[in-house]
Amino acid sequence: MSQLGGAEHREQVGVATAQNLVKEFRPRHGSSGGQRSDRITLLVNLSLMATRDPKHIQRALQAFTELASTQVNNVPYLLAMGQAFMLLKQTPRARNQLKRLTKVEWSWELSEDLETAWLLLADVYIKSGKYDIACDLLQRCIKYNQVHTHTHTHTHTHTHTERDSDRWTDGGAHSQPAESEVSV
């Protein structure tokens, strides 16, 4: 079995395990509390998304949309919707959902989801060449979480990408001093 095949198999086993665990926690008789039920629904649909099957992702997205319509600006649902749209390669729709999360005030309870959303949105902006907006989002992540590895990685990528693009546009300016330093 190739490494790629082994990795895919491990991922499938992991998804199946997650789905089985969520089934164990699902309430058996009616709804046992709105917040817990919503959290379980979120987990069930996140495990559907993990399969990367477009039909499952679409079904999860529909559930997230219904949940988000009852609870405006619910961070986990909006993040999940953004992630689902990204998996479906609908970047503009993902960006619209994730942008809503830039207006949410940071709190410890929401920190992980907000930072994930900001990083995903920063990645969208980097890919579309909007480095200034991406940098603002990355700086926000750094502000709230100084040691977040992804933030530093994205900032490093952004810096190198911007510097490399400057190098191409200012190539002539950079070569002049080098020629004058050469002694004969």
Q: What's 127's domain CATH number?
A: 1.25.40
Over range 24-46, report the average pLDDT.
71
Rg from Cα positions in the chain? 22
In the predicted model, is pLDDT for residue 121 greater than 90? yes
My answer on whether 27 and 110 are in the same domain is no
Same domain flag for 83 and 12: yes
Name which residue leads in pLDDT, 124 or 155: 124
Could you give the C-alpha distances from 91 to 16, 82, 96, 99, 151, in angstroms and in order? Answer: 27, 8, 9, 12, 20
User: Is the pLDDT confidence value at 143 over 80?
Assistant: yes
Q: Percent of the chain beyond pLDDT 70?
A: 71
Structural domains counted in the chain: 2
The predicted model gives 27-41 an average pLDDT of 66
pLDDT at residue 149, rounded to an integer: 57
Residue 96 lies in a domain: no
The whole domain housing 65 covers: 1-88
Please tell me whether residues 10 and 37 are part of one structural domain. Answer: yes
pLDDT at 178 over 60: no
Same domain, 131 and 63: no
Rounded to the nearest integer, the mean pLDDT of the chain is: 81
Residue 153 vs residue 96, higher pLDDT: 96
| End position of a domain, from candidates 88, 115, 134 | 88
Residue 33 has pLDDT above 90, yes or no: no
Answer yes or no: is pLDDT of 183 > 50: no
pLDDT at 179: 46
SS3 of 49-110? HHCCCHHHHHHHHHHHHHHHHHCCCCHHHHHHHHHHHHHCCCHHHHHHHHHHHHHCCCCCCC
Q: Would 158 be classed as within a structural domain?
A: yes
